[in-house]
Structures are given as C-alpha cells and as structure tokens.
Amino acid sequence: MELFLYHGRYDSKAVMDSWGFDGPRLKGVTGLRYTYTNLELWFESPEAAQEAKKLTDWADGAFEKSLEITESHGMVVCHLTDENGATRAAYFGDWILE
C-alpha cells in the first residue's frame, strides 16, 4: 500500500478556497496504528521506513519498520524541501491508504 497526503498548505490556519497541493506518496506501507493521539505508520521494511522519513521528517517509531506521524491542529505535518532548498512545515488535511 501507499499513503498519499493531499489538501496541503504551508499555513495551518489558512482559509482554503481550493484543494491546495499534493504531498508525498509513501510506499511500502503495511499498516497504521492510532493510539489516543499517537499515529504510527508501519512499513514492509526498515529501508521503506527510512525512505519515507526522508520525505516527511517524521521520527522513528517504536519499532524498526515504523514512523511516528506528526500531527498538529488536526492535520498531518511534514517538513518539505522547496525548489530553493529551504525546508518548511507543510500541513495536510486529507490522506488515504491505497
């Protein structure tokens, strides 16, 4: 499976009049665990988890093949690098496992 992040914006408080931008597609996903307010994403291999970590800047999870999804204001947060090499927080209001 893949986790696809979309409905992105750079300001978590922005009033959206469109769907915003698409985020990264994370490949090799095998599961998702939600415990209270902790989201943990599971991958088929440690390499798939580390590749996703490069795309999102999420922290390593409790297990070798997992990452902790960062959440803020009800949105998933990634730190993306723009075309100028600057890293900034991006907020995604929607996501789907396909």
Q: How far is CA 76 from the centre of its chain?
A: 6
Q: Is residue 77 part of a domain?
A: yes
Domain holding 93, by residue range, is: 2-10+24-97
In this prediction, residues 77-91 reach a mean pLDDT of: 88
Q: Is residue 51 part of a domain?
A: yes
- At 5-14, the pLDDT tens digits run 999 999 998 8
Q: Is residue 80 part of a domain?
A: yes
Q: Is residue 90 part of a domain?
A: yes
Average per-residue pLDDT for the chain: 92
Q: Is residue 75 part of a domain?
A: yes
Where are any strands of DSSP class E within 36-86? Answer: 38-43, 59-60, 66-72, 75-81
The pTM is what? 0.87
As for how many domains the chain has, the answer is 1
Q: What is the pLDDT of residue 81?
A: 84
